[in-house]
Structure 1
Amino acid sequence: MKKLLAEALGTFALVFAGTGAIVINEVSGGTIGHAGIAITFGLIVLAMIYTFGDVSGAHLNPAVTLAFAVARRFSWREVPGYVAAQITGALAASSVLKALFPGNATLGATLPAGAASQSFILEIVLTAILMLTILSVSTGAREKGLTAGIAIGAVIALEAMFAGPISGASMNPVRSLAPALLSGHLEHLWVYLLAPVMGALLAVPLCVGVREAGCCGGACSGARQP
């Protein structure tokens, strides 16, 4: 239960701060700016890794949890609980934002700026890069070392910085699911549910290809099941 609570709280913080930055930027006339929103996403993930990484691994993302399980770094029996906790935390965050800013139309939902297919491919590539980084700086299904949070947070901020104006740079199904449900913007939700999962799963064979044998079989770099 401590792991599930940590995942729910961490995902709540991620969605609350990240999509909250988008909402507050809109209602304040752009005072945060695109760069500020991207940095907010990176910093909140960095903070949550250091806050809950030693408890749950701070996945905060169903796509990450599924990829860890496919890589045999995480037990499949724990996946449903983790995903449920992540969804709960995200929905709670969007509910609080809706109560605070009832007039906001999207609550920070991710929406394609162009064609849905363009954002779909972009989200696959972005999530693959993110997950490849996560697999490379983690032991088992947990981040390792003092710099893991910095590396992961930096990749998220970087990708949000350059790709956010096109696809929203979600890379996380629940980060998109919660504001979409609460705001009613479901028209492109499939992009942000499917593409991050595909991208995260793509990162597993890529990691196997560049690292030593057994890297994604539970034995690489001292990998262990949590």
Structure 2
Amino acid sequence: MEVKSMPGAKREPAAARGPSPLRVPPKGSFLAHCVDALRATASEMRQNVAALPDAEKPAAAWFISLAEPRRPWLWPVWAYCDLLVRPRFAEAIGKAEADRLFSAWPDMARNQAILEMDFRRRRASKEAKQGPSPDYRDLTHLIIGAAYEEFVWKNGDSGTANSRHAAISNRLGLDDLGVIRRWEKGHFAKAATDDELAAYVYFSPQLDRLAEIGRLRSRGLNGNSFAETDA
């Protein structure tokens, strides 16, 4: 009796294919260039937090959390407080009461954040403390979403899904349009939040600016160019 292979049996093992571009952007790609730019932005925000207006601190906290999503004990205390402690209080006692409490007793919220960060640090694995392997999914989702928004804004809903996936893949320097297809059917369709959708719209105009900065950098640093084509 003939034994038929299971569907996908001849596919290359995941380990041989390497990490997903959604987790680790391909070296030299425009996607990797954008991730580096956002990580640098988060680093600058951490170092210059005292100079940030209060209105910009929520955005700064969000960027910092995206750059280091798996080790929140490394966030600034104020960012941990704004992103994790305050929302939990708001859910328990209501937003208005939480805002009043945090305004009247700022040291209480800060001490709570410090205790939680210390607890997370002590309970973390040795690998996490030493620095886990890079996982930039939060940043790549943001950048792919911005490229998606940019494409739709320029082209509307015209063309096939494959043409859309191919155009965005080329824009980001990816050689596998399936990455965009998986992002669209997975994260975008199932997990994107209203805040993320607003971030896509906000960040999409900056792609051309980042591309030009990258071109200047590649001319000044031989061999460090990225694959970036016009959408």
For the aligned pair, the TM-score class normalised by the smaller chain equals under 0.3
Larger Rg: 2
TM-score, L = length of structure 2: 0.25
TM-score, L = length of structure 1: 0.26
Relative contact order: is structure 1 or structure 2 higher (C-alpha 8 Å, sep ≥ 6)? 1
